[in-house]
């Protein structure tokens, strides 16, 4: 007699492989909005989650926004750093990613622990509106693919909903400007340079630290910013 078959269980590895497949398919279809060839590494996630870990007041719960959560590569790492009472809004404009993320909140072992404190919003981050307030914002948006006006609108939005003293961490990829200088059309190179200058403007005013994460595809830089307690 044949041995009874074990029910098939989705492992963390199955789940990551499905996410990577979905990510690559969406990157091909919507590269401007997706802006990456693969989900972020855990090393990048840990560096981005720095201010979920390092708290000014360790007894006060945090309100967190992750913008551009994708398939949840960074969300899973943020979840590890969250403590009781913390809440997180996971905002993602791509309906395929947002749907997958909502599904993962109940089924993924790394995300199900925060299912009661997390909300997935399928929308543009700026459509979250003014009636929200965050202690920590983690931005995964591909600013290098946006126009300077789009980046300025988003940076202004982040700082309008970041509470005084709150932190914003954002990332981009190393050497993209240098590569574009060689292979991209001139207008695209100039567009990226202009959107980079907008980020630089904010970093010059509010930057509190920068990091490089080589263990990511492609290697990344991070900027950490802090909204002053008095503007």
Ligand X SMILES: C[S@@+](CC[C@H](N)C(=O)[O-])C[C@H]1O[C@@H](n2cnc3c(N)ncnc32)[C@H](O)[C@@H]1O
Q: Which residues bind ligand X (CB under 6 A)?
A: 33-36, 39-40, 67-70, 73-74, 91-94, 97, 124-125, 140-142
119 phi and psi, to 5 degrees? -130, 130
Distance of CA 162 to the CA centre of its chain: 16
69 phi and psi, to 5 degrees? -75, -15
Shortest Å distance, C-beta 75 to ligand X: 7
Structure-token pair, residue 142:
């591909």
Query: How far is the C-alpha of 174 from the C-alpha of 59, rounded, in Å?
Result: 36
173 phi and psi, to 5 degrees? -105, 140
Structure-token pair, residue 200:
């630089």
Place of tokens 């909140």: 105
Q: HSE on the CB side for 64, CA within 13 Å? A: 33
Shorter beta-carbon distance to ligand X: residue 29 or 164: 29
139, 108 contact by CB (below 8 A): no
Shorter beta-carbon distance to ligand X: residue 140 or 166: 140
Shorter beta-carbon distance to ligand X: residue 31 or 165: 31
Shorter beta-carbon distance to ligand X: residue 47 or 225: 47
The number of beta carbons lying within 10 Å of the beta carbon of residue 59 is 7
Query: How far is the C-alpha of 180 from the C-alpha of 189, rounded, in Å?
Result: 6
Query: How far is the C-alpha of 229 from the C-alpha of 231, rounded, in Å?
Result: 7
Shortest Å distance, C-beta 90 to ligand X: 9
Shorter beta-carbon distance to ligand X: residue 58 or 129: 129
Shorter beta-carbon distance to ligand X: residue 4 or 221: 221
Shortest Å distance, C-beta 213 to ligand X: 11
Shorter beta-carbon distance to ligand X: residue 52 or 91: 91
Shortest Å distance, C-beta 124 to ligand X: 4
Shortest Å distance, C-beta 60 to ligand X: 26
Shortest Å distance, C-beta 38 to ligand X: 8
221, 172 contact by CB (below 8 A): yes
């Amino acid at each position: 007699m044949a041995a009874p078959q074990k029910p098939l269980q989705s492992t963390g590895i199955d789940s990551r492989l499905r996410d990577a497949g979905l990510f690559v398919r969406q990157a091909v279809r919507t590269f401007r909005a997706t802006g990456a060839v693969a989900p972020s590494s855990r090393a990048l996630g840990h560096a981005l989650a720095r201010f979920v870990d390092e708290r000014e007041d360790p007894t006060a719960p945090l309100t967190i926004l992750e913008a551009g959560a994708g398939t949840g590569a960074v969300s899973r790492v943020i979840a590890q750093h969250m403590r009781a009472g913390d809440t997180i809004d996971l905002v993602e404009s791509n309906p395929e990613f947002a749907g997958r993320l909502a599904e993962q909140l109940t089924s993924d072992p790394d995300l199900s622990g925060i299912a009661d404190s997390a909300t997935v919003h399928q929308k543009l981050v700026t459509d979250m509106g003014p009636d929200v307030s965050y202690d920590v914002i983690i931005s995964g948006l591909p600013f290098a693919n946006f126009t300077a006006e789009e980046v300025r609108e988003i940076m202004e939005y982040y700082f309008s909903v970041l509470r005084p003293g709150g932190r914003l961490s954002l990332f981009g990829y190393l050497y993209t400007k240098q590569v574009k200088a060689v292979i991209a059309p001139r207008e695209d190179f100039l567009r990226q340079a202009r959107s980079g200058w907008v980020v630089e403007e904010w970093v010059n005013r509010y930057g509190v630290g920068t990091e490089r994460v080589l263990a990511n595809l492609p290697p990344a830089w991070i900027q950490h910013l802090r909204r002053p307690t008095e503007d």
